[in-house]
Structure 1
Amino acid sequence: MRLANIYIEHPTLSLDQCFSYRYTQEELQPGMRVWVPFAHQRLVGFVDSLSEISEEEAARLPYQIREVLEVIDHGPLLNEELRALGKWMAQMYVASTISCYQSMLPKLLKPKAGKAHAVMEEVAYFDHVIDGLTPRQREVLSEMEQCGSMPAVQYRRQYKSVARTLIEKGCVRIERREKQATLVKGVAQTASHTLTKEQQAALSALQQGEGHSVVVLHGVTGSGKSEVFLRYADQQVQQGKQVLFLVPEIALTPQMQRAVEARFGDGAAIYHSHLSDQQKYEQYQLVAQGKVQVVVGTRSAIFLPFARLGAIILDEEHDTSYKQENAPRYHCRDIAIWRGRHHGCKVILASATPSLESYARAYKGVYQLIEMKSRIHQDLPPVEIVDMGAALRRGENALLSERLREAIAETLVRGEQVMLLLNRRGYTPVLRCIDCGEALMCPHCDVALSYHKEEQRMKCHICGYSRPLPDTCPSCHGTQFRYLGIGTQRLEEYVRTCFPQATIIRMDSDATRRKGAHEQLLRQFSREGDILLGTQMIAKGLDYENVTLVGIINGDASLKSGDYRSSELTFDLLEQACGRSGRGQKEGRVILQAYDCEHYAVRCAAAHDYQRFFAAEMNYRHLAQYPPYTYLSAAFFVHRDARVALEGANHALAALQKQQICKVLGPIALGRQKDVYRYRVILKGKDRMGQAQLLRQMFEQHRRAKQRARMEIDVDLLLLE
């Protein structure tokens, strides 16, 4: 009897095992999807392996072996490499194997029951020539024979009545097939400028870095890191290999895409979350069929089915967006390193502010370290810190100090551009009743609602709940409210009153919801914008030579967070934002408004001194035994009843009392989100795999005890808040 060992589509960790089904389909292979009976349901399964047992062995089993109902695919969806990667992820991140496979595939291919299907299209194909054709019919048929095929819509539009006649005569046939992505054809452009000595040295180090599969390319903003890894990528493509460029956010994708298409000419597969399901499917197929040499994408592009990877490049590698928020909670950097080892290619971690984990490994020689300390055109821009506490005491405005407002005016008079960074969207984060002092809260989360003036609505930035701006306070029916804090909408409103003639463009998650909005706004700023105002999405990767002033509002706000990474996140944001100024031939400058002006993260960013910040922050991490000196993992216990969630956390703590692998912290109440209460237990220690194994044991004990709280797992916890 032939057996298929199959993971069913339910991603719960309690079902993380293969179920055996007999099969008769000759085409069945590992990596294909099938329909199978499971309990009283008809579910999609994913074939892991094939085996055989005798009829006698099957008869002795304590259960009846059921049969595969139907094969879905014509070939394996995941190759042997990606199936091995999925199993590694399941162990590494304590997740079900099927959830790892599902995370790798576009929605139209996920091992999951659903009604979504690939879009079909009609295609006209040349078939054969017959006698008796008119000269025009022979001419059209000759053109069709040369091109082979074309979309039927184009064929009918181009050849009109002749098209119909040739179909009727059987000379041209119409077939339905899955809609395919169209590659943008272009002519590859050779790099036109000469590398600086530092760039050439960095490229040579990449080429000669034997023994290191992972490279930290640390270069100050504007040092030309992109040109270095583009030239290295070009060399790999010339050798017939593929290259993956990863960026942390969609806002950076258009700029990287243009650079790649200009360099490689044949276009590139683009893969990110703002594509439709059909577009993702089409781009996935381009890679699977080997039709593209380069890919530009965000986090999920790391799973594309490459056959001959020559390089993986993580631009802005420090960015927390590379960590997946939902199970399986993988880090893109880990997946890149695993795939780099499998393909024997380099993984380049590029950043002006590398993560402490990456830089520490490079510092110790585990990774290769390449430093680029100078800008190509100008020196790094001088940074002026404005003490906002003192400014407020002088009666200045809390949004723009007099110094920053004067600098903006001077910059606009010269016909140059300005960027203003405020890392909080909306109009104001808190609306408080003047009479009773109560803030308007989200009914589903323990957070205040943010006021969005453009829509006259209050919104929760966690669950998305929204309501109209109330006329009266829900608690005391008072009619007057006080705005506390500022968001990008409020800043935009104030800047417009100060500079009514300026063209101001706001870029935050509210302004970029529409498909293609990122690229449209950036193009508008490049052509006609005076001031680009936005959240952290404008702080990294953008390169505009006419931007000579960057203003940072509330630059130290993230230091108020209780997260152990707050200093690192603050330094990264400030240094990246400072780097947007003076990237061309014109001198740039930065004005940084802050309240805690003496904090080392603020001072080091103003001095563009990563090494000093690294030393100070590593000293703090060593004293507190935080990563990279230890690993942090967490178990979350979630339920609509706070008592049930706490009970689940306490039960887990009791099970951890005798273990000696790590320290245990908690349970810690995280407050209500989306109508559920959350408690967290943190594991802290030096044995990463030991933590993963311990968390898997905790889950099994939690399941056997039939605890009502849902248990969620995050290995390598990145942020505490």
Structure 2
Amino acid sequence: MRIAKVWIEHPVLQLDQVFSYDALQLPAEKGKRVSVDFNGRQIVGFVDAVTEVDDGQPETQVNGRPLKPLLSVLDENALITPELFELAKWMAEDTLSPVISCFQAMLPSKLKPKSSNQKIKMEQIAVYVGEHPLLTPRQKEVLGWLRTEGPTVLAQWRKQSPAITRTLEKLGCVRLDSRTVKAREEQVGQAEAFLPLNADQKRVVQEIQTSTQDVILLHGVTGSGKTEVYLHLARQVLDAGQQVLILVPEISLTPQMVARVKGRFQNDVAIYHSALNNQQKYEQYCRVFEKQASIVVGTRSAVFMPFDHLGLIILDEEHDSSYKQDSLPQYHCRDIAIHRARHFGCKVILGSATPSLESYARALKGVYGLAELKERVNRQLPVCTVVDMKNQNRAQSGILSDVLRQKIADRIKRGEQAILLLNRRGYSPLIKCGQCGETLQCPHCDVALSYHKSIQKMKCHLCGSEFPLVTVCPKCGSRTFAAPGYGTQKLEEEVARLFPQARVLRMDADTTSRKEAHQKLLEQFGRHEADILVGTQMIAKGLDFPQVTLVGILNADAGTARPDFRSVEMTFDLIMQAAGRSGRSQTPGEVVIQAFDPNHFAVVAGSRQDYQSFFYQEMQYRHLGGYPPYTYLIALTFSDVRPDRPKQSAQDVAQALRQSSLFKVLGPSDLFKLQDRYRSRLVLKGKNLDQMKAALAQVLQEYRRQRSQAHLSIDVNPLILE
């Protein structure tokens, strides 16, 4: 008897185990999806293993009854390679997540183990079978065309001659078949030449190639030519017959990176990111699986592409929080990349001008290798001016300081471009009654609603809910509502008013919601169809526009007010990365930083492009507070629609965890309501992460058996503690 051990798709965490089914004579094997009967429901799972046992053995029965049979096998070939299969199990253990959730995270939507399985797009094709003795010369000519072309889409085959093609099909010379739709790749022209490396870049390439470390941090100032280093390293790996993975943190960075990679490597490139539709993701996944592409460029989820001879992994802007998944399983892309690299015996390059404190500390300790590019290719950093906004007369100057307004005017006059960064979208961050001070809040989340003037609506930036604009205060009945503060919409309006001759583009979550909107906006700006680009943090990183000679950073120190231990680090990163967009070509660049606390060390270090001084000062605060990288954290968030349940569940788990003296248990702390769910959080803090995870895993076994408990989300090494 053949028994299939199956991981099933089920939301209940206590079912995080394999279940046995009779495989019958079905072609079940490890990594294939199967349909099974579970408690009267037909659901989908992944086969973990298939074993042969003698009939009548204990494992052939459950509670004295024969095993249920598999209903069907859904895949012709195993979807997940053996390496990815083991990766899923490791990831489940590392993130304390169900194994099935890790399988779901790995696959494109059309291949995920969902019971409501999406259909894969198919197309009819004509396939050459063989000659026939009675064919006319014209029929032989048409049949010869198909033999040369190979399997051809039916519509293209019919174009050769509708009558003849049908005759050839009837004679058995041609067979009609179906296949999954293949990705139609844009044909790239002649390959671009590789740019010669300067002395610093050559040194870094040599250091990386000869390093005995598997993970190497490439710390290079903005504009130092890190991307060119990546491309030269990739060429050497591809020439050796291996594959390359290049990861970028956000979709906004993908178009420029794709253009540069495709320019060098042409059609050997697969693209994978969240802006692709489900069919496109499936097609790109298949291109890698079928070895039709050797280099992949993508965002976080591209780390799971089905490679079989990977030779290099590159994480560009490795510090970026977008590399951390914020839903189950809450993995960090860097950890997955390093784990996969160990399997393939290849190197991981972590590149950034502002490395995460953890990565830089590991590099200084020798855990990672360290290669540095300390100067820009053009040998000139932008000149930074910090403006104290407390001394500005807002009634006269408005959102932009006098200094920034004058410099924008100069750029427009000279035919150059400017970027204005404001990390807050919408028109205004809140709507407030001028009479009683009432602030309108989202009924589903405990946060203020933002005003979006372009659509005359109020939006919640957490749950995405939209509401009609309220003009009468629900508390006092007055009509004195005001929209204090400003976001990118108001900034765009102000810039258009001050510079009516300028062409302005805005790039934020509102203007990039449509497919390919990121790419279109960046291409417009790159063609100089706009003089000023206004946007949120998505325009602060990785972008390279030679005509940009001015960057304005507004409310630069706003992030330091967030009650999170990484808030200062993220503020510094944003300032330094945004400043790095200016003066990347031969024309000198300038940066204007508007701040209400211009003496804050994050602002000062950012304005000087001085990573080292910021690192050592921030590390002192981390050490005093006992925060990462000096300790490890695990965040446990309990949520429920009932207000009392999350805190009670958190208290129960905290009591069980406090029996261990190996780490601290902080909380429970009440968090703001989110999407109609009340929340409470525990934080585990200690120096031995493995001990913390082992103790927590033991407690969770009992917790998950109790059905009346609140929903629990676990984040190992959280990047943000709101």
TM-score normalised by L of structure 1: 0.97
Distance in 2, Cα, partners of 1:347 & 1:292: 20
Distance in 2, Cα, partners of 1:367 & 1:192: 28
How far residue 378 of structure 1 moved from its aligned partner, in angstroms, is: 4.0
Q: Which residue of 2 aligns with 1:37?
A: 37
Are residues 1:709 and 2:710 paired?
yes
Give the AA of the match of 1:22.
D
Distance 1:126 1:199, change over 3 A: same
How far residue 606 of structure 1 moved from its aligned partner, in angstroms, is: 0.4
What is the 5 A alignment of 1:423-434?
423-434=423-434
Q: Which residue of 2 aligns with 1:97?
A: 99
Match of residue 154, structure 1, among 142, 153, 156: 156
Distance in 1, Cα, partners of 2:166 & 2:503: 53
Q: Which residue of 2 aligns with 1:310?
A: 311
Q: Which residue of 2 aligns with 1:144?
A: 146
1:439·1:448 contact (CA, 8 Å) conserved in 2?
yes
Distance in 2, Cα, partners of 1:584 & 1:571: 24
How far residue 72 of structure 1 moved from its aligned partner, in angstroms, is: 1.1
Q: Secondary structure at the match of 2:550?
A: strand
Distance in 2, Cα, partners of 1:530 & 1:542: 16
What is the 5 A alignment of 1:628-639?
628-639=629-640
Give per-residue Cα distances to partners, 1:406-439, cap 9 Å, x unaligned: 0000011000000000001000011101122111
Unmatched runs of 5 consecutive residues or more in structure 2:
none
Q: Which residue of 2 aligns with 1:509?
A: 509
TM-score normalised by L of structure 2: 0.97
Are residues 1:328 and 2:329 paired?
yes
Distance in 1, Cα, partners of 2:552 & 2:161: 58
Q: Secondary structure at the match of 1:291?
A: coil
Give the AA of the match of 1:586.
T
Give the AA of the match of 2:291.
G
Give the AA of the match of 1:517.
A
1:106·1:281 contact (CA, 8 Å) conserved in 2?
yes
Distance in 2, Cα, partners of 1:60 & 1:11: 25
Q: Secondary structure at the match of 2:431?
A: strand
Distance in 1, Cα, partners of 2:639 & 2:421: 36
Q: Secondary structure at the match of 1:476?
A: coil
Are residues 1:621 and 2:598 paired?
no
Give per-residue Cα distances to partners, 1:647-696, cap 9 Å, x unaligned: 11111121122111211111111110100100000000111122222222
1:378·1:584 contact (CA, 8 Å) conserved in 2?
no
Q: Secondary structure at the match of 2:647?
A: helix
Give per-residue Cα distances to partners, 1:44-86, cap 9 Å, x unaligned: 1211112233334237863422221211111211111111111
Q: Secondary structure at the match of 2:57?
A: helix
How far residue 576 of structure 1 moved from its aligned partner, in angstroms, is: 0.4
How far residue 643 of structure 1 moved from its aligned partner, in angstroms, is: 1.1
Distance 1:337 1:468, change over 3 A: same
Are residues 1:201 and 2:203 paired?
yes
Distance in 2, Cα, partners of 1:337 & 1:12: 30
2:662·2:686 contact (CA, 8 Å) conserved in 1?
yes
Q: Which residue of 1 aligns with 2:500?
A: 500
How far residue 600 of structure 1 moved from its aligned partner, in angstroms, is: 0.6
How far residue 168 of structure 1 moved from its aligned partner, in angstroms, is: 4.5
Match of residue 124, structure 2, among 112, 122, 131: 122
Q: Please, which moves more after superposition, 695-704 or 300-309?
A: 695-704
How far residue 267 of structure 1 moved from its aligned partner, in angstroms, is: 3.8
Q: Which residue of 2 aligns with 1:416?
A: 416
Match of residue 74, structure 1, among 67, 73, 76: 76
Give the AA of the match of 2:342.
R
Q: Secondary structure at the match of 1:454?
A: helix
Distance 1:399 1:30, change over 3 A: same
What is the identity percentage for the equivalent residue pairs of Structure 1 and Structure 2? 50
Q: Please, which moves more after superposition, 707-716 or 406-415?
A: 707-716
Give per-residue Cα distances to partners, 1:73-124, cap 9 Å, x unaligned: 1121111111111111111110011111111111111122114110011112
Give the AA of the match of 1:495.
V
How far residue 42 of structure 1 moved from its aligned partner, in angstroms, is: 1.5
1:219·1:225 contact (CA, 8 Å) conserved in 2?
yes
Distance in 2, Cα, partners of 1:144 & 1:51: 44
Are residues 1:87 and 2:89 paired?
yes
Distance in 1, Cα, partners of 2:714 & 2:196: 50
How far residue 133 of structure 1 moved from its aligned partner, in angstroms, is: 4.8
Distance in 1, Cα, partners of 2:389 & 2:210: 49
Q: Which residue of 2 aligns with 1:239?
A: 240
Q: Which residue of 1 aligns with 2:263?
A: 262
Distance in 1, Cα, partners of 2:355 & 2:115: 41
Give per-residue Cα distances to partners, 1:595-633, cap 9 Å, x unaligned: 010011100000110000110011111111100111110
Distance 1:159 1:408, change over 3 A: farther
Match of residue 176, structure 2, among 174, 185, 192: 174
Distance in 2, Cα, partners of 1:26 & 1:476: 70
Q: Which residue of 1 aligns with 2:458?
A: 458
Distance in 2, Cα, partners of 1:552 & 1:269: 35
Distance 1:481 1:302, change over 3 A: same
How far residue 164 of structure 1 moved from its aligned partner, in angstroms, is: 4.2
2:458·2:467 contact (CA, 8 Å) conserved in 1?
yes
Q: Please, which moves more after superposition, 108-117 or 307-316?
A: 108-117
1:32·1:72 contact (CA, 8 Å) conserved in 2?
yes
Distance in 2, Cα, partners of 1:430 & 1:586: 40
Distance in 1, Cα, partners of 2:113 & 2:706: 30
Distance in 1, Cα, partners of 2:694 & 2:118: 37
Q: Which residue of 2 aligns with 1:363?
A: 364
2:638·2:647 contact (CA, 8 Å) conserved in 1?
yes
2:122·2:181 contact (CA, 8 Å) conserved in 1?
yes
1:29·1:76 contact (CA, 8 Å) conserved in 2?
yes
Q: Which residue of 2 aligns with 1:472?
A: 472
1:378·1:582 contact (CA, 8 Å) conserved in 2?
no
Q: Secondary structure at the match of 2:37?
A: strand
Give per-residue Cα distances to partners, 1:445-494, cap 9 Å, x unaligned: 10011011110000001111111112312222221211121110000001
What is the 5 A alignment of 1:359-398?
359-392=360-393, 395-398=395-398
Q: Please, which moves more after superposition, 18-27 or 620-629?
A: 18-27
2:270·2:297 contact (CA, 8 Å) conserved in 1?
yes
Distance in 2, Cα, partners of 1:26 & 1:39: 21
1:31·1:79 contact (CA, 8 Å) conserved in 2?
yes
Distance in 2, Cα, partners of 1:677 & 1:668: 12
Distance in 2, Cα, partners of 1:191 & 1:116: 42
Distance in 1, Cα, partners of 2:413 & 2:268: 40
How far residue 132 of structure 1 moved from its aligned partner, in angstroms, is: 5.4
Give the AA of the match of 2:6.
I
Q: Secondary structure at the match of 1:550?
A: strand
Distance in 1, Cα, partners of 2:170 & 2:61: 61
Give per-residue Cα distances to partners, 1:375-408, cap 9 Å, x unaligned: 0114110110000010137x54341011100000
Distance 1:74 1:299, change over 3 A: same
2:142·2:160 contact (CA, 8 Å) conserved in 1?
no
Task: Supply the RMSD in Å over aligned alpha carbons.
Answer: 1.6
2:703·2:709 contact (CA, 8 Å) conserved in 1?
no
2:471·2:481 contact (CA, 8 Å) conserved in 1?
no
Q: Secondary structure at the match of 1:266?
A: helix
Q: Which residue of 1 aligns with 2:115?
A: 113
Q: Which residue of 1 aligns with 2:520?
A: 520
Tell me the number of residue pairs that the alignment of Structure 1 and Structure 2 aligns. 719
Distance 1:408 1:60, change over 3 A: closer
Distance in 2, Cα, partners of 1:313 & 1:444: 40
